[in-house]
């Protein structure tokens, strides 16, 4: 529900009240009891982010440069067996 700001043009009293958008505007001042209460135009409120955070796909990933990817690539090992042993075990 939005918060509305009111000000009495008779006595200058101001107040904020939570009201449904379908509710009628207040007209009677709670302080001086005159029918001079007017709803003010407010600036609104800021956006409030709730939750655990943003999705991983919300931001573009950096692609590594070609020179960096060649440094990080592993070299082929001379192992010949299927489970990483040398050829002397007899599995390969």
List pLDDT tens digits, range 14-66.
Answer: 999 999 889 999 999 999 999 999 999 876 666 667 777 666 666 666 677 66
What was the pLDDT predicted at 21?
85
Domain coverage including residue 7: 3-39
Residue with more model confidence, 1 or 5: 5
**Residue 18 counted as domain residue:** yes
What Å distances lie between residue 56 and 24, 53, 59, 60, 69, CA to CA?
44, 9, 7, 9, 22
**Residue 20 counted as domain residue:** yes
**Residue 74 counted as domain residue:** no
pTM (2 decimals)? 0.47
What was the pLDDT predicted at 3?
86
Domain count, the chain: 1
What was the pLDDT predicted at 8?
96
């Amino acid at each position: 529900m939005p918060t509305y700001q009111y000000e009495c043009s008779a006595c200058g009293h101001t107040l904020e009240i939570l009201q449904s958008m379908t509710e009628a505007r207040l007209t009677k001042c709670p302080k001086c009891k005159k029918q001079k209460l007017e709803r003010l135009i407010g600036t609104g409120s800021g956006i409030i982010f709730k939750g655990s955070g943003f999705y991983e796909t919300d931001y573009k990933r950096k692609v590594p440069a070609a020179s960096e990817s060649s440094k990080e690539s592993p070299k082929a090992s001379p192992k010949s067996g299927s489970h990483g042993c040398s050829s002397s075990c007899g599995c390969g």
